[in-house]
Amino acid sequence: MTQEVRAAGAVLWRGDGGETEVALVHRPRYDDWSLPKGKLDAGETSAEAAVREVREETGFDAVLGRYLARTAYPVQARNGSGTVPKTVDYFSAEAVSGEFAANDEVDELRWLPPTAAEKLLTRPEDVRVLRAFCELPPSVTTVLLVRHAKAGKRDDWNGDDDLRPLSEAGQRQASALRRVLALFGPDRVLSAPRLRCVQTVHGIAEDLGTEVRHEPLLSEEGYWPDPVLGVARLLAIASDGGTPVVCSQGGVIPDLVSALADRDGVELPSARGGVVPSKKGSFWVLSFRAPTPEAGPVLLAADYHASALPTPSPSRS
């Protein structure tokens, strides 16, 4: 059986209100200029690999943003007989600290405006990824909208459903979310007031040294009497800026994401058969244009990650 080679990388960028610059690396082994990328380690997600490879190749720690694109091309098989498919998943990633030093893989790094970077890139696939990055402003407000992890079957729980806890599988999902969502730089944690929702994101709040704030309008019981209020509440959270984690339920998230996408003209191709996906333990990365005194936040992109456990790449909107 042909084994696919999976890799991940990023458009690493910087810019403090001025001109945005992106990082290109020169790899002496191939004598090419490329975006930082590399193969996934065993048990690693694409998001984790992207951050690790950026650090290893460029020396910079990065905070992930939206998913950009997947490239695919054949590479030589290890046994030398023919080729195997290789896929690379790319994210937008803001450089937050670090300094480049030449290493075994990369001997030079250049920070360039995107137009100059496009001319220097060796491979057309990287140009396509860079153009996807340039389609939207690099600096956005990111809302990490999480569906609670597995909590067993409702029919098997005899107590108050609000107090139904995570199952063992759900605890594993919550641990994975704690690890992966940290890559996006969350700064606060909010949740529907259900034990399973709070437990799903409690570890993230613990890492931030904060509490999980309850959001009744984002529970099923609080949302459906007036969904407009629920949508307005999420937009208010986005208006506060930063990178909030918001945990909700499967009866809320599909309608909430659809309403935001319809309002702001964002296509959701992952919504097959008209149903927006929302698996337990999944999350949406919602990218909003920052609000202004004249207008509130506007949804720019919505990327669905079916799991924080090692799985196929997210669906791109």
Which range has the worst mean pLDDT, 67-76, 181-190, 225-234?
Answer: 67-76
Which range has the worst mean pLDDT, 87-91, 245-249, 293-297, 300-304?
Answer: 293-297
pTM of the model: 0.93
E-strand ranges in 40-128 read 60-76, 83-98, 108-112
Burial of 25 (0-12, 13-18, 19+ CB in 10 A): buried
What tens digit of pLDDT does each residue of 13-30 get? Answer: 999 767 999 999 999 999
**Mean pLDDT for the stretch of residues 99-115:** 96
**What amino acid is encoded at 274 in this protein?**
G
Q: How far is CA 297 from CA 132, 163, 234, 237, in A?
A: 21, 34, 10, 10
CA 184 to CA 51: how far, in whole Å?
10
- What are the structural domain ranges in the chain? 5-134, 141-305
What tens digit of pLDDT does each residue of 130-176 get? Answer: 999 999 999 899 999 999 999 977 666 566 666 789 999 999 999 99
Name the CATH topology of 5-134.
Nucleoside Triphosphate Pyrophosphohydrolase (3.90.79)
Contact 177, 146 (CB under 8 A): yes
**Mean pLDDT for the stretch of residues 286-312:** 88
pLDDT class of 247 with cuts at 50, 70, 90: very high
**Mean pLDDT for the stretch of residues 105-122:** 97
In CATH, the architecture of 141-305 is: 3-Layer(aba) Sandwich (3.40)
